[in-house]
Amino acid sequence: MFFPQSIPDVILVKPKRFGDERGFFAETFHDARFEENGVHGPFVQDNHSLSRQKGVVRGLHFQIAPTPQAKLVRCTRGAILDVAVDIRAGSPTFGKHVAAELTADNGWQLYVPVGFAHGFATLVPDTEVQYKVTGYYAPECDRGLAFDDPALGIDWPVGRDEAVLSDKDRAQPLLADLPEHFRYSA
C-alpha cells in the first residue's frame, strides 16, 4: 500500500505481511506496482548500513548531477526516524520535511525522490538499514545538509551534543548556505 505524505512526492510504502507461526512473508519490491504508484526507478544499487549505537545520525545526504539518487529506504533490524527534506529551489515545500518511523517490526519503507536530502537517526542499538538508489554512488557528487539546522524544524530524537555523527556530517552546511542543486518543476 502506498501513502503520499504531506510532501506528496515522498511516499510511505506499507507492504502487506502474511504471517503464521513460522513468521511472515512480504513482497518488499515489485517494479511495475511501485512505478504505477509514484516510486520511480530504475534502482541500480542496494546499500546496507549497521549502526551499533542508539542516537547515530546519518545524514542529511544527497547526490547532485550527473548522478542524483532517489532512495527507497527500509529498516531491517531495529528502528529509525527517517527524514526527507525538500531542497528543490522554487518548490512550494522547499525546506520542509517528512519524517516516518521505520522499524523491522512494521516493515515500512520511505521513498525519497531526487531533490531531497535524506537522513535518519537510530532509535535503538544495532539498527540495520537497507536502501535502493537510482544512481551509483559517486563521491564527487556527494553532498549534505546540517541535520540540526533550526530552519528545518526537524524533531530529532537526539540533539547535536548527544548525536553520534561522522566528521563529515558535523561539517555540513545550513540550508541558507546550500547552493541551488535542484530546481522544482510542477
Q: Is residue 131 flagged as an active site residue?
A: yes
At 185, is the secondary structure helix, strand, or coil? coil
**61, 97, 118, 181: which one is catalytic?**
61
Give me 21's grid cell: 507461526
Q: Are 75 and 127 in contact (CB under 8 A)?
A: yes
For the chain, what percentages of helix, strand and coil (3-state, to nearest 5) are there? 10, 40, 50
Task: Specify the residue for cell string 542508539.
Answer: 54
Q: Is residue 118 flagged as an active site residue?
A: no
**111, 131, 136, 184: which one is catalytic?**
131
Q: Are 117 and 84 in contact (CB under 8 A)?
A: yes
Return the beta strands (E) in the chain as ranges: 2-4, 11-13, 17-20, 23-26, 45-51, 57-63, 71-77, 79-86, 88-89, 97-103, 109-112, 116-122, 127-133, 142-144, 182-183
Active site residues: 61, 131
